[in-house]
């Protein structure tokens, strides 16, 4: 099926030490390892990256066109502010699942609006590191349906 680009935004490199009562004790590296294992089981390769810089995330989204089947994306705080990330996702037109460790709708009011949601096929939040795995499962299922729908009938 190809590759899935997994992007994590600002401060996610601090998982495991950053507000463990909110985000848990699992590190981003551990989440990436689990994603690689799950991806292998699902028949996709994982290209996992993290950046604190919005422009770098935009560049990586643009480079996914023609190289990846889909995107799994935790934009962190950029979720609520970034029109640039929304525009990049719309430009590449790759299926994207938004993921969050916590549940933004249950937090501060300013976190309840996702700027990128309209460019995504779905959202998984509130399950800690498992949000990434659940998001990957959903993205791969979506990609499999797309492939099946485009195959000629054999009858």
pLDDT at res. 155? 45
Name the 3-class secondary structure at 2. Answer: strand
Q: Can you give the CATH number for the domain in which 125 is found?
A: 3.40.50.9100
38, pLDDT greater than 90: yes
What is the side-by-side order of every strand in the sheet holding 70-74? Answer: 44-50, 2-8, 70-74, 96-100, 122-125
Q: Across residues 63-75, what is the average pLDDT?
A: 97
pLDDT at res. 46? 98
DSSP line for 17-36: TS-HHHH-S--HHHHHHHHH
Q: Which residue spans within the chain are E strands per DSSP?
A: 2-8, 44-50, 70-74, 96-100, 122-125
In a domain, 78, yes or no: yes
Domain of 120 in residue numbering reads as 2-148
In a domain, 36, yes or no: yes
Is beta strand 70-74 parallel, antiparallel or unpaired with respect to 122-125? unpaired
* Residue 153 pLDDT level (bands cut at 50, 70, 90): very low
First to last CA, the chain: 24
pLDDT at res. 131? 97
In a domain, 135, yes or no: yes
The token pair that represents 119 in the structure block: 């460019």
Global model pTM greater than 0.75: yes
Percent of the chain at pLDDT > 90 equals 75
In a domain, 155, yes or no: no
pLDDT tens for 75-134 read 999 998 999 999 999 999 999 999 999 877 656 665 667 899 999 999 999 999 999 999
pLDDT tens for 12-27 read 998 888 766 666 778 9
Catalytic residues, by residue number, are: 23, 100
Backbone angles phi, psi at 90, to 5 degrees: -65, -35
Say which residues have a Cβ less than 8 Å from residue 152's Cβ, sequence separation at least 6: none
In a domain, 153, yes or no: no
In a domain, 6, yes or no: yes
In a domain, 154, yes or no: no
Quick count: other Cβ atoms within 10 Å of Cβ 151? Answer: 7
Name the 3-class secondary structure at 6. Answer: strand
pLDDT at res. 154? 44
């Amino acid at each position: 099926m190809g590759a899935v680009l997994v992007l994590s935004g600002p401060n996610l490199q601090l998982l495991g030490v950053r507000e463990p009562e909110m985000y848990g004790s699992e590190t981003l590296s551990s989440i990436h390892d689990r994603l690689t294992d799950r991806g292998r089981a699902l028949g996709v390769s994982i290209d996992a990256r993290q950046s604190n810089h919005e422009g770098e995330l935009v560049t990586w989204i643009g480079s996914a066109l023609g190289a990846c089947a889909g995107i799994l994306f935790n934009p962190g705080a950029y979720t609520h502010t970034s029109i640039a990330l929304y525009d990049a996702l719309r430009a590449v037109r790759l299926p994207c699942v938004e993921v969050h460790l916590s549940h933004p709708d249950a937090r501060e009011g300013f976190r309840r609006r996702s700027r990128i949601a309209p460019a995504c096929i779905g959202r998984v939040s509130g399950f800690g590191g498992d949000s990434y795995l659940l998001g990957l499962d959903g993205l791969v299922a979506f990609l499999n349906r797309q492939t099946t729908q485009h195959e000629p009938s054999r009858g």
